[in-house]
Structure 1
Amino acid sequence: MCLNRRPCQNVNSNTPTVAILLRSLKITTALLLAVLLFGCASQDDEELSADSGEQQMYENAQRYLRNKSFDLGVRSLQLLESRYPFGKYAEQAQLELIYAHYSAFQHEAAVEAADRFIRLHPQHPSVDYAYYMKGLAAYSAKSDVFARFLPTDVSSRDTSHAREAFAEFSQLVSRFPASPYAADAKARMVHLRNLLARHEIIVANYYFRRGAYLAAANRGRYVVENFQRTPAVPDGLAVMAQGYILLGMSDLAEDAIEVLALNYPDYPALDKDGNFKSRYSLEGMQRSWINKATLGLFDPTPPPQFDSRELYENVR
């Protein structure tokens, strides 16, 4: 009597049934796949073995990088350096390890690898590349997986990584002005300055919502004084004017409005005569009792927010 759901087979038959053949085929296929997978894993382990020659290990690492197998590239380069710390490929392996870490989205490890290379080889002909990659890695260190695929306003997030990257690119440009990476570093510095300036405006807008008018005005002044020739300057002047109006500092407000009207006559907060529109006046900006009760977190008529990126961001 059979105890499973498959049809009973005549065990005394000399002719294999279809079911038995299929089962044998499945077992054979599974064994072949296991052998292939084991062989591939064994091949990778063999290629990464410390017993491989220095040149062979370096060539293996190059193949991994060309094939975009960056994790294996990192392991291979690390093994090469540890096995041959004074070999002819040691310095090149340290340099390429920066790129391998960066390409594997191991940005903090890339920064550490760049720091190590700069410390060990300050006179190396390619040390400028280490500075450049350090800047790239520092900028990307705080990014998450969603930021790579979803549109986000980077200026509204923590900008400490942007400041660090700006400092690294600045070192590259100042120390190696003739470097082939200097032009790209300068372009990235322009982008980073714009980002940092826009972040100050976003913070100022937040302060307006919370009723911290002096803090908002100071943020606007900081943009005007430290981020000149960025698209955020007109917003910085408007923030200053708005903050001073709300603080009752009429003279300072008029000065900021005058400079704004002179340099940016088409700014959205200005009327055709160069004056702040009524909703930006002291009367139009009085905080409601709801705004005060919720410490600025809610207001049916929130204060104006300054963001003229669409108007000035592409202007050179």
Structure 2
Amino acid sequence: MRLTTRNRGRAMPVLVTAPVIVLALGLGGCDFDPTGLFAEKYKPEVIQDTPADKLYSEGLAKLEDSDYEGAVKKFDALDKQYSYSDWSRKALLMTAFSNYQGAKYDDAINASRRYLQRHPASKDAAYAQYLMAMSHYKQIPDVTRDQDRSEKALAALQELVQRYPTSEYSADAKAKIQITRDQLAGKEMDVGRYYLEKRNFPAAINRFRDVVAKYQTTRHAEEALMRLTEAYMALGITAEAQNSAAVLGHNFPDSPWYKDAHALLANGGLQPREEKSSFLSKIYSSVIGRKTASAE
């Protein structure tokens, strides 16, 4: 077939090129293929699903061999092949556990969170929450570094105790809550000591007051009260220094920090004197009240 076009008033022949013909033939139907380009037909491959119990057993075997990455792959495959089944529920929990065992803590957190989103009322929900909390807890850094992980660990542990108070993981969570709070208090003390050394007494006082306000049951509270006495004395705010030392003596009478606070005041001709309406006194009155109510 010939087509014509006009060029400066003269008709010029234009041939439809071979590739266009081939394309047209290819689009028209793949049965006729003179070029051989479409000779290889697509053959869908049918992959049979592995039985659920077999995948689960293989995942457990990988766990026993400490092949945590291999276990995760098996449980992931089980979750995908048998979505929305009880096998999927079990697989997701085991994925979280395998990642935790393999120290892939962020992956364990994500798997645990997915489990809780899908199965909030499951009998294993408390364990999923425990895995999430412990995955944060295992990543708590030393007190010289940012404590974001400690904050997340504390929140996850507290949620476990609040949502599942009768679970077998609650007692361990309570113990770790105290350790985590102690860690956060230690960070505040570390910063407060730095400001005290730099003679930035107002900034130091703010840090030590935070320790007393938020973490008054940790081992750092005694030192925080002593450091408050020290900072207030340095600023010449003697009434607050006397009050800090008195609160320290009333709540921790055998503490070596109280002996230091008492000696510091004595050097200035002062004695501990508590102001019952003060911020510090109210905090420890509240703590004593909670302890008494708990004992009853």
Q: Which runs of 5+ in 2 are unaligned?
A: 1-46, 269-296
Shift of 1:142: 5.6
Aligned to 1:169: 157
Tell me the residue number matched to 1:233.
221
* Structure whose alpha-carbon radius of gyration is higher: 2
Give runs of ≥4 in structure 1 deviating > 4 Å: 265-273
Q: Structure 2 length normalisation: TM-score?
A: 0.69
1:61 has 2:53 as partner: no
- Provide the C-alpha distance between the structure 2 equivalents of 1:191 and 1:273, rounded to a whole number of angstroms: 26
Find the residue that maps to 1:231 and give its secondary structure: coil
Q: Which residue number corresponds to residue 176 of structure 2? A: 188
For normalisation by structure 1, the TM-score amounts to 0.65
Structure-2 separation of matches of 1:187 and 1:265: 25
Matches within 5 A, 1:8-23: none
Q: Give the 3-state SS of the residue equivalent to 1:230 in structure 2.
A: coil
Partners in 1 of 2:201 and 2:101 — Cα distance? 44
Say if 1:108 and 1:141, in contact at 8 Å, map to a contact too.
no
Q: CA RMSD in A?
A: 2.3
Aligned to 1:246: 234
Amino acid at match of 2:180: L
Instruction: Determine what percentage of the aligned residue pairs are the same residue.
Output: 27
CA distance in 1, matches of 2:85, 2:129: 24
**Preserved CA contact (<8 Å) 1:257 1:275:** no
Displacement of 1:117: 0.8
State the shift of 1:83 in Å. 2.0
Residue identity opposite 1:257 in structure 2 = A
Counterparts of 1:1-316 in structure 2, within 5 Å, are 51-141=49-139, 154-268=142-256, 274-276=262-264
What's the counterpart of residue 10 of structure 1?
Answer: none
The structure with more strand, counted as a fraction of residues: 2
The alpha-carbon deviation at position 134 of structure 1 amounts to 0.6
* Kept in 1: contact 2:226–2:260 (CA 8 A): no
Structure 2 letter corresponding to 1:251: A
CA contact (8 A) 1:95 1:114 kept: yes
Q: CA deviation at 1:269?
A: 5.3
1:94 corresponds to which letter in structure 2?
A: L
Is the CA contact (8 Å cut-off) linking 1:98 and 1:111 kept in structure 2? Answer: yes
Q: Across the two proteins, how many residue pairs are aligned to each other? A: 222
For the structure 1 residues 272 and 89, does the alpha-carbon distance in structure 2 shift closer, same or farther, using more than 3 Å as the test?
Answer: closer
Q: 1:64 to 1:259 in 2, by over 3 A?
A: same
Amino acid at match of 1:187: A
Q: Answer with 201-210 or 126-135: which moved more.
A: 201-210
SS in 2 for 1:276: helix
Q: C-alpha offsets along residues 155-194 of structure 1, whole Å, 9 cap, x if unaligned?
A: 3332211111111111111111111111111111111112
Q: Residues 166 and 59 of structure 1: is their aligned pair in 2 closer, same or farther, counting only changes over 3 Å? A: same
